[in-house]
């Protein structure tokens, strides 16, 4: 029995010795080059703009007016299907977890009586115009800190414009597009 334990101990010792010798050999054989400046250059496709200085992403959404000029309300309706879990879109439709969004464009913040809006939304002055919707849909938590809405936002500019075009169509008299 003791001979078996000696064999096991010897095998473990041999494996450790081989691993140690392999590490020494690797240090002798491999000589890595340390770059002067950490990181690497990413090749940009033609026509692509480099990131702003510091490499930071833009701090907010793109301007909505040019995007709305080529927005597709049908594509926005398709994209807004994800919103249907919490919102209804029909005229006179019920409030769900979120308020009914029919006629939202041009309506004041907290416009539906009987819906329990967060103080963050009720405290916003002015109507839900295109710019306000753009900023809200881009990042609801940044637009209205303390909002009850748990949605992370729509980061793709054209998707956001399509949704806003769809919301615009949900009205008896749609608000005019911005210039």
- Sequence ranges of the domains in the chain: 64-170
- Mean of the pLDDT values across residues 136-144? 93
How many angstroms separate the CA atoms of 68 and 110, rounded? 24
The pLDDT value recorded for residue 151 is 87
Helices (H) and strands (E) in the chain — how many of each?
7, 0
Residue 51: pLDDT band with limits 50, 70, 90: low
Task: Reduce the DSSP state of residue 114 to 3 states and report it.
Answer: coil
How many angstroms separate the CA atoms of 53 and 13, rounded? 55
Closest among 165, 150, 176 to 75, alpha carbons compared: 165
- 159-175: pLDDT as tens digits: 999 999 999 999 999 98
- Mean of the pLDDT values across residues 99-113? 92
The pLDDT value recorded for residue 33 is 80
Q: Which residues, 6 or more positions from 85, have their beta carbon under 8 angstroms from its beta carbon?
A: 96, 97
Class of the CATH domain delimited by 64-170: mainly alpha
Is residue 93 classed exposed, middle or buried when 0-12, 13-18 and 19+ CB atoms within 10 A define those classes? middle
How many angstroms separate the CA atoms of 122 and 106, rounded? 15
Q: Which long-range contacts (CB under 8 A, 24 or more apart) does 123-127 make?
A: none
DSSP label at residue 127: B
């Amino acid at each position: 029995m003791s001979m078996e334990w000696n064999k096991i101990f010897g095998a473990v010792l041999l494996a450790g010795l081989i691993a140690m010798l392999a590490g020494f050999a690797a240090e002798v054989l491999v000589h890595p080059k340390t770059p002067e400046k950490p990181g690497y250059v990413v090749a940009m496709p033609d026509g692509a703009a480099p990131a702003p200085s510091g490499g930071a992403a833009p701090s907010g959404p793109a301007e909505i007016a040019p995007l709305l000029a080529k927005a597709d309300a049908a594509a926005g309706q398709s994209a807004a299907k994800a919103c249907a879990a919490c919102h209804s879109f029909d005229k006179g439709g019920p409030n769900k977890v979120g308020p009914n969004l029919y006629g939202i464009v041009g309506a004041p913040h907290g416009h539906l009586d009987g819906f329990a809006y967060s103080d963050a939304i009720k405290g916003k002055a002015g109507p839900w115009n295109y710019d306000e919707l753009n900023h809200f849909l881009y990042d609801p938590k940044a637009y209205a800190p303390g909002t009850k809405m748990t949605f992370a936002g729509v980061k793709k500019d054209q998707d956001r414009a399509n949704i806003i075009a769809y919301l615009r169509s949900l009205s008896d008299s749609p608000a005019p597009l911005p210039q």
